[in-house]
Every structure is written in C-alpha cells, then in structure tokens.
Amino acid sequence: MTAEDPRRLLRSLPKVDDLLKREDVTSALVALPRGLVVDSLRQAISERRERVLAGDVAPFTEDDIASEALAIAQRRNARSLRRVVNATGIVVHTNLGRSILAPAAIDAVAEVAGSYSTLEYDVPSGERGSRHVHVESLICELTGAEAAMAVNNNASAVLMALAALAQGREVIVSRGQLVEIGGSFRIPDIMAASGATMVEVGTTNKTHLRDYEQAVTERTALLLKVHSSNYRMVGFTQEVPLEDLVALGAERGIPVYEDQGSGVLVDLAALGLPYEPTMSEAIKAGADLVSGSGDKLLGGPQAGILAGKAEIIERLKTHPLARVVRLDKMTLAALEVTLALYRDPEKVFEQVPTLRMLTMTKEEVGRRAEGLAAAISERCPGSFRVEVVPETSRAGGGALPMADIPTCVVALTPVEGSVVELEQRLRMGSPPVVGRIKDDRLLLDPRTLTVEDEQVVVEALAALVSA
Ligand SMILES: *Cc1c(COP(=O)(O)O)cnc(C)c1O
C-alpha cells in the first residue's frame, strides 16, 4: 500500500458523533456506560491523530477507529480487582491475595455484607454491643489467652502494641530479629512510627539473655521477640528462648511481646511441615502478648490477631489506634468462621484451603497433575508437549522459607510459538491464569488450583489453541 498524505489522513479522522451512530457502537452501549464510550471514542481518535502527526501514515478506516475505541472502553470497564487462577504452587501468594477462604467463611461474608448484622448489637439486651465479642472468646479458647482482639492486619497489630505499651519509652529487641517483611514492613520503621525507642541488643547471628539483661533500664517498656519469617540463619547462631525472656520480664516487671508473623494455631509438624511456634505455645510460655496474621498460615482473611493478658489487651482496646485499625464486618465474619473451624484440629486441615493445600501429599498432587495433563492433551491435541514432572511448591507469604514442599506439576512446551508467549497469553486471559516458566516449559502446579480452576485452565488453553 502506498503512503498517504498526512493532511488527508488527518481530515479523514471520523467525528465522535458519526461514530456514535454506528451499529457496533450503539450495540456496545447496552453493556457499557455512554460517558465511558464517548470518552473512549475521543481517546481512539486522538491517539490516531498523534500517530499520524508522529509520522505514521498507514491508511486506516472508520472501522479501525471504532474497534480501537471499543477495545479501550472494554479495558477501562473491566474490574480491576478480580479473580486469578494461581497455578504457581505458592500457597500464601502475597501478590495474589494470600489465603483463599473456606466456603463457610465466604458464606458468612456474603450474609453480613447483604444484611444488617449484630456487628455492634447485643441481641439479648437490645442494646449497643462490642465488635470485639465476635472473635475474642474464640481466640482465647484456641490460644489459652485471657483476652484477645483482632485488627486490620498484623502490621497494625505490631504498631498498635508498640504505641500502646511503649510510646516514649524503650523496647529491647535482638539485632537478629530486625526483619523486613515483603512490601514495606520493617521493624525499625514500625518502631519509629509507634513513638517507641528501639534498643538493639546482641549481634546479627547471636543474642544472649545477658544482652537483654544489660540493656534493661527504668525506661524499658517492653521486651520484643520477632519471628524471622522470611529468612533463616544457619551456622553459628543463637536466639533467646521466649521462656527466658519471660523470666527476665517477670523479674524486672517488664511485659514480653512475641510477634509470630504467621498466626499458627495448630501443630504443622504433625502433618509433615516444618515446626512453627503456635500462639498457644507463646501464651503457655508466659508471653504477655502474642500476635500473628489472619491470612498467612492461619488461612483466614487479612487480619492481625492479638492474644494475651487481660490488662495488656485492655490497654490496646482503649488506645486511640484501636479505632483506626479496627476490622470491618466482612472480615470479622470470615475470621469468626475460620477460627471456629480450628475447634476441630483434625478437620481444620481439610476445611481451611491454605492448610489443605500445604499438606497435600506429592502423590495426591501427582494424581491431580495426571488428570490435568490428560484433559489438556485431549482438548488441545498436538499443540503442546505435556509432561508431569516432580517439582517443589512453596508456602509463600514470608512463611516457612526453608520448606521445599514436594509436588508434581504439569509442564507444557508449545509445539508452535514460544513458552514466553504462552505464559503471557494465559496471563492476559479472563480470568488470568498465572503459572511459572522454568527450563523453557510452562509449569502449572495443581497444589494451588481448585477443581474448578483446573477446568478454567483447560478451557483457556483450548481457546488459545483454536484462536
Ligand atoms: C507478615 C508479618 C507481619 C505483617 O503481617 P501482615 O498481616 O502482613 O500485616 C509482621 N510481623 C511478622 C514477623 C510477619 O511475618
């Protein structure tokens, strides 16, 4: 095709009003808001004008502009926060929303979202109630603590605890525990934001009880222990056990707070995962306060769980920040139901998806992988080399960093085109399917796929192949 005269091209740009009379545009108005469509028509016309002015003199038609505009409108109208199929095998995948909820928790969220609720209403008296009651006694029951509360996330739990218990005073913490958790949670920064002064003791690899003892002054408000979460030190290392900190705290009259990070309520080692301290162990050891996340290994909604001595929890509940970091009713509903599932420590591994996924055996995942591979081969004959290979899954969420969880994945090699392109096209689908590339193959780990997700993956691949 010969190059066109730019001035003639600019003159031939359609008008918004003319585009609005087109059949394809009017029928799009059934599903798309008019203002959005008009905006997108303007945008498509102006983008084309810019291209011509920048020297792109390829010919175009009104049809081209209209379909560009409708594509823009569709993109802008698509929901931003939406479902993704997680085929990465990373169970607590922070970027993909960490934990998915148990069905009973989802039902409870829907119920309180669509109805008025007992959020702050005491039914027997007909009077104002407290939003703390919905989870407090459950947390106490599951941890053995005297009192408890739940807040927006564990980061806010740490911030509020430091502010309420140590503002303007000193908090002693081991240098080996000054961790950074994904995103922007860093112990020294949270400490500064809380108004407490951090007193670092020990060295990176070794901290002794005497380091804490020597740092205690009349300004000391708290002894803090922080879970190293996303890293492990090996070799010549030493940490002070919680019991020893508790003994020191009791002797000097200083409360002890353990930030456990993950919020573990059951013995994970019993199902073959690495040992993780539980909240009830911290309470039993005598900690005045312990906190953990709701959506890491606990497998519930985003939340921060605080359990401890009644007097300490009372100070937290009455601190101004408690109102700032309080939970909304949907989260409270999900948290209450998730916690209640922990009353049966055996069934909980079946019912809470995060625990279920983490404890699926390699053989069980292998059977799922074989089924998925067979379905892909059947729906997309000749399009991929389909293999089932051993791999490792990860806990994610900054938890269990040393746990290589043996798994089986489906490994796809496209017969035509590149694996990079395959990964991208699956990711750009609806819903996006997120896998990972290794050794020029696309790996799909059934550990993090629901049965319904597997269907979605097969259909997405079939659609790609037929396109
Ligand atoms: C993850 C983590 C936090 C932050 O918890 P969120 O629930 O993500 O806010 C705080 N402390 C430790 C030790 C953690 O592992």
Distance 309 CA to ligand 1 centre (A): 21
3-12, 15-24, 179-188 — most confident range: 15-24
Ligand 1 within 6 A of CB of 331: no
Q: Mutual orientation of helices 62-77 and 34-53 as an angle, nearest 10°?
A: 130
Report the C-alpha gap between 46 and 52 in whole angstroms: 10
Report the residue among 151, 178, 226, 229 best suited for mutation to probe ligand 1: largest number of ligand atoms under 8 A from its CB: 229
Residue 249 CB less than 6 A away from ligand 1 = no
Distance between CA atoms of residues 344 and 449, nearest Å: 25
99 lines ligand 1 (CB under 6 A): no
Q: Is 27 exposed, middle or buried (0-12, 13-18, 19+ CB in 10 A)?
A: exposed
Interval between CA 401 and ligand 1 midpoint (Å): 14
pLDDT score, position 259: 98
Task: Tell me, in angstroms, the distance from the centre of ligand 1 to residue 301's CA.
Answer: 13
Q: Which residue's CA is the nearest one to ligand 1's atom 12?
A: 261
Helix axes 133-143, 329-341, angle to 10 degrees: 30
Confidence bin at 231 (pLDDT 50/70/90): confident
Distance CA 262, CA 279 (A): 9
155 touches ligand 1 (CB under 6 Å) = yes
For ligand 1, whether the C-beta of 207 sits within 6 Å is no
User: Measured from the CB, is residue 152 less than 6 Å from ligand 1?
Assistant: no
Pocket flag, ligand 1, residue 304 (CB < 6 Å): yes
Nearest CA to ligand 1 atom 6: 154
pTM (whole model) above 0.85 = yes
CA atoms within 13 A on the CB side of 131: 17
CA distance 313 to 306: 8
Distance (Å, whole) CA 304 – CA 426: 34
Distance CA 316, CA 294 (A): 18
What is the torsion angle, in degrees rounded to the nearest 10, for the CA atoms of residue 198, residue 203, residue 208 and residue 209?
-10
Interatomic CA distance for residues 98 and 222, integer angstroms: 31
Write out pLDDT tens, residues 327-345.
999 999 999 999 999 999 9
Q: Contact, 262 vs 94, CB < 8 A?
A: no
Distance, CA of 411 to CA of 283 (rounded, Å): 45
The string of DSSP letters for 260-325 reads EES---S-GGGGTSPP---HHHHHHTT-SEEEEESSSTT-SSS-EEEEE-HHHHHHHHTSHHHHHT
* End-to-end Cα spacing for the chain: 27
Task: Report how far ligand 1's centroid is from the alpha carbon of 290 (Å).
Answer: 12
Using the mean position of ligand 1's atoms as its centre, give its distance from the Cα of residue 339 in Å. Answer: 18
Q: Is the pLDDT of residue 9 over 70?
A: yes
| Tens digits of residue pLDDT in 41-94 | 999 999 999 999 999 999 999 999 999 999 999 999 999 999 999 999 999 999
**What is residue 340's predicted lDDT score, i.e. its pLDDT?**
98
